[in-house]
Chain A
């Protein structure tokens, strides 16, 4: 039972890490300084 709790805890941590990595990006408010480059 303890093993299952720990194993699923590790699974939740792994999923949370992947969600944070790929879907929870910080937004940047900077651009590259070139007015015509197309980046915001």
Chain B
């Protein structure tokens, strides 16, 4: 656990250098994921046992190219490194670099060294050195860079023990900078040094040049003392960067050798195929197709198992607990509520396993590059791809990820269209409706219709996002252009450990994030469904018996009829009946209406709500959620409630509707206005209603 007696280690590095892999190697599953206070930048802390009974708190900082902050992620790194009072202020910094990109990665290293923090240079992906014909003169590099070097391969786990030993001995690592960057304007820096003798020179320079006001220095005081124009400061920053690269070039000229004759590089060939203007898209489509087929195929058995297990838990609760309100709440509210969360674990785990494999292998960057060509035609920034793709997990971090889009209007459009991307919260809704209304058959013997429908829904969401962006682009008249730079990491075989940790984290986030909300709403709904005003609820049994005097019902039929009468006249029944006229043209009954209202908090609540409502309205506790939904009959038409027409209508409704209070909140926060989230809500809800209405009216 986090302890002040442990060595604080900050893991810093450029994106795509395998920093998280090093973190995973050092900490295993001893990780805590949270947020930095007040912002939603992910904070990962792990714990590591070191030789000689030492222990370390390892902080995995967001990837950054330099200490010249241009995003909130980078600010996090700088704020921590400048604030000695922070309880996570590092005793030692590990700057992780990629052996194939040492030149670029060392820029950040030289900047960290200027902060006079003991710094270990971790050169990762050492297993590729022979393959790429790279050799390093480690003693020479250690001497010039004034550091200790750990040559590791986080993929193969080599060099990790040596790295741990270096962390233990961190006090022996020199703190002094490896170059004197102040020569770019000696007079200016000398004056600064004299005025603030107790402050670190490079720290002063960062405070002066960054947009963010750091915690423990008065920027205005410094700026007022040493006024330089904005353009002069920018020029000095450029000179500083050039100076650092000159130093790095000189060091690497001696310390790094590349023998091109022994390099065996398939990357260029693979890149040509995977980013090809025809084959690139075909391969991407094929991969996507395979993923969605597998999600449905592989999830079926574990999902059925979870569904049946929870149905039997309800029976057990009813049989073994004393009859009463609490027992009913447990059997009909809490157990189906939890079941409604856990049933989706297999699909969510498989989805993130595939996404993680694509990211780990380096293929995702090629997809981003490939899609950029399409996006530009619709007026979006190439940088919009990242939020749109990460929106498949959740719109909230995806909207946060728009912060690296410099042009405000492009950023605004991306924020407004990102919620169309199919997030993981839609997955439970899609999964259950598809299972109910799309036949489980194969076309041409291989194409699973259910998997194909799921894929089409993902493409529909993405297509609508791009189409809306096109319309918004025309309306908002974007001025100016931004340029898109994407880094193409090397292809790698995905590491099982990284994929597994990512899947566990994402599944945990779903269960404990959305799960708590679903459970709480299930409990409230159970009460609303189990109590009601007026005589029709109180005298439900009497009314049902009187109604059926002519044709007496058997015990089971009578119990079902009473449960149904009570549910219809419960608080939730009355609420549902009130909105029924508005939703019946879409093919929904009042129960679905209640589920739509309650799922406004979070989409995945939809299934949990129906599970609770059907549990209360069904005397047979042995039924699964799916069976209950399948058995629902419209008393007026005699047709199944979840038929093909109403099912497609529901799928389309959820594909387009906003239905997420948290997304509205984050849009408000990011745009600093209610105008945009309210516009987004009205547009998406209106579109969802219209499309669902048309679909039902055509298909019924």
A: which residues have CB within 8 A of B? 2-4, 6-7, 10-11, 14-15, 17-18, 21-22, 25-26, 28-30, 32-40
* Chain B residues packing against A (C-beta within 8 Å): 38-39, 69-72, 75, 210-212, 322, 324-327, 329, 334, 403, 406, 408, 411-412, 516-517, 519-521, 523-524, 527, 601, 661, 665, 669-673
Q: Is the CB of B326 within 8 A of A39?
A: no
Contact B671–A29 (Cβ < 8 Å): no
A10 touches B38 (CB 8 A): no
- Report whether B211 and A34 are in contact in the complex, using a CB–CB cutoff of 8 Å: yes
Q: Which of A7, A21, A37 contacts B325 (CB 8 A)?
A: A7
Q: How far is the CB of B520 from chain A (nearest CB, A)?
A: 4
Residue contact B520 to A17, C-beta cutoff 8 Å? yes
Residues of A within 8 A of B411 (CB): 37
Which residue of the partner chain B has the closest CB to A37? B408
Contact B523 A14 (CB under 8 A): yes
Known: A14-B524, A30-B39. A40 touches B672 (CB 8 A): yes
Q: Can you show 27 pairs from A to B with CB atoms below 8 A apart?
A: A2-B326, A3-B327, A4-B324, A4-B325, A6-B326, A7-B325, A7-B326, A10-B326, A11-B523, A11-B524, A11-B527, A14-B520, A18-B517, A18-B601, A28-B38, A28-B669, A30-B38, A30-B72, A32-B72, A33-B75, A33-B210, A33-B211, A33-B212, A34-B403, A35-B211, A37-B408, A39-B669
B673 CB contacts on chain A under 8 angstroms:
38
Nearest 3 CB-CB pairings of A with B: A3-B324, A3-B326, A28-B38
CB neighbours of B601 from chain A (8 A): 18, 22
Interface of B is mostly: helix
Q: How far is the CA of A19 from the CA of B408 in the complex (A)?
A: 33
Query: Which of B334, B408, B669 makes the CB contact (< 8 A) with A36?
Result: B408
Q: Output the least CB separation between A11 and chain B (Å).
A: 5
Partner of A22, one of B519, B524, B661: B661
Contact B672 A39 (CB under 8 A): yes
A25–B665 CB distance below 8 A: yes
If A15-B524, A26-B38 touch, whether A39 touches B329 (CB-CB below 8 Å) is: no
CA distance A38 to B412 in the complex (A): 10
> Which residues of B are found within 8 Å of A15, using beta-carbon distances?
520, 524
Query: Do B75 and A3 touch (CB < 8 A)?
Result: no
A17–B69 CB distance below 8 A: no
User: Nearest Cβ distance between residue A10 and chain B, in whole angstroms?
Assistant: 6
Given A36-B408, A39-B670, 16 extra CB contacts under 8 A = A2-B326, A4-B326, A7-B325, A7-B326, A7-B329, A14-B520, A14-B524, A17-B516, A18-B517, A22-B601, A22-B661, A28-B39, A33-B72, A33-B210, A33-B211, A37-B403
Distance in angstroms between the alpha carbons of A21 and B515 in the assembled complex: 13
Contact A18-B520, Cβ < 8 Å, known A6-B326, A7-B325, A7-B329 = yes
User: Shortest Cβ distance from B471 into chain A, in angstroms?
Assistant: 21
Query: Which residues in B have their C-beta under 8 angstroms from that of A28?
Result: 38-39, 669
Q: How far is the CB of A30 from chain B (nearest CB, A)?
A: 5
Q: A28-B39, A39-B672 are in contact. Are A34 and B406 (CB under 8 A)?
A: yes
A38 touches B671 (CB 8 A): yes
The reply to whether B408 and A33 form a contact with Cβ atoms under 8 Å apart is no
**Whole-angstrom distance from the CB of B470 to the nearest CB of chain A?**
22
Q: Considering the complex, give the chain A residue whose CB is closest to the CB of B665.
A: A25
- CB nearest to B69 among chain A residues: A33
Which of chain B's residues have a CB closer than 8 A to the CB of A11?
Answer: 523-524, 527
For B403, the chain A residues whose CB sits under 8 A away are 32, 34, 37
Task: Kindly name the residue among A4, A14, A28, A30 whose own CB sees the greatest number of chain B CB atoms within 10 A.
Answer: A14
Min Cβ gap B184→A in Å is 24
**Residue of B329, B406, B521 with most partner-chain A CB within 10 A:** B329
